[in-house]
Structure 1
Amino acid sequence: MAATIHSSAIVDEGAQIGDGSRVWHFAHVCGGARIGQGVSLGQNVFVGNKVVIGDRCKIQNNVSVYDNVTLEEGVFCGPSMVFTNVYNPRSLIERKNEYRDTLVKRGATLGANCTIVCGATIGEFAFVGAGAVINRDVPAYALMVGVPARQIGWMSEYGEQIDLPLEGSGQYTCPHDGSIYTLNGKTLRKAQK
């Protein structure tokens, strides 16, 4: 199934958009963008030239995905959340050669109105709360809130808080899918089935 592109959207020549993806009202996809299969780009979404969006990502309304941002498979970007690509922008100083890479790993959730300062890596299945400001790397499965964001817990792949401390040792079994998570120090891992 080919991509569905609303008549008000602009998709520049050269953009790659995978099968089953949907580009909604007033979105703009630049020519160098690479977008996977089954992706949803909401109303008024902008996707820059040097952007890679993996399969089955959902980019909600009013999100701009600027150059040097990579989203792996299954990333959720909440309404009006923000990516940056220059750490110290000035209108009068050209800094396009100073873009910093931002990587959001598989399954992560970025809540509404949060801000991801460029140069950060968001770990797989991490959960960034609404309005949080991320200015450093985020561990896999971490639950982050606040300005600047701090970790307050862990989240399962199912999307519910895990009852384990921030560090130490322990094990948690998800009541929804039976997945087992093991905490070792400050690292949470899901056991392979």
Structure 2
Amino acid sequence: MAMTQAQILIDFEEEVGEAFGAVSDADVIRWFNLGQSRLRRKYEKVAEIVWTAALRSVALPTDYLGFGRLTVNAGISPEPWYVFGDTLILQDPGGASSAGGARLHYYSEWPNVTAAAPSQLTTVEDQACMNFALHRFFKKLLSNHSHYARFAALVGQETMEREWMKQESDRYYQDFLDARDDTPSLPPAFFYEG
């Protein structure tokens, strides 16, 4: 089930209890989205690209991060090419021999969770991102005395142990790393396939 922004906030509040008031909703969602980018999982997308005769290069989509594969449209003869940065370059010095097109399979970042867009990760990956957000929560509390004092006042314990908070932060981060390492990673990149 895809986690919505509201569900992320509810789950986060269940974990930290009364201390939830020590951070804003925006902080929690920002940390969750940051966890998505640190999972080392990329979003697989497909785009149609076209070129005209004699064209030497084609700009790839603006959200392009990595190459998957290129499937030339039916009736088009494949030409030697390579990807450099965010550009597909045709190797023939005269450019493309004819107009054509192809379907590009590529990787981009996962879309951020917003009020209108739920998470598109798996349940395990969502939990990993939640662990990352909890790690960042405890790191924030430890980073500044005023945050720490606010947290201690919210939970009603003036002598909250800093060492306990550091252990909680480290535990959540280790849970994040374990989940990240247990989920499949991207296939190797193909720098040339023409």
Would you say same fold, with TM above 0.5? no
Q: Which has the higher contact order (CA 8 A, sep 6+)?
A: 2
Q: TM-score, normalised by structure 2?
A: 0.19
In our comparison, the structure showing a higher alpha carbon Rg is 2
More helix by share: 2
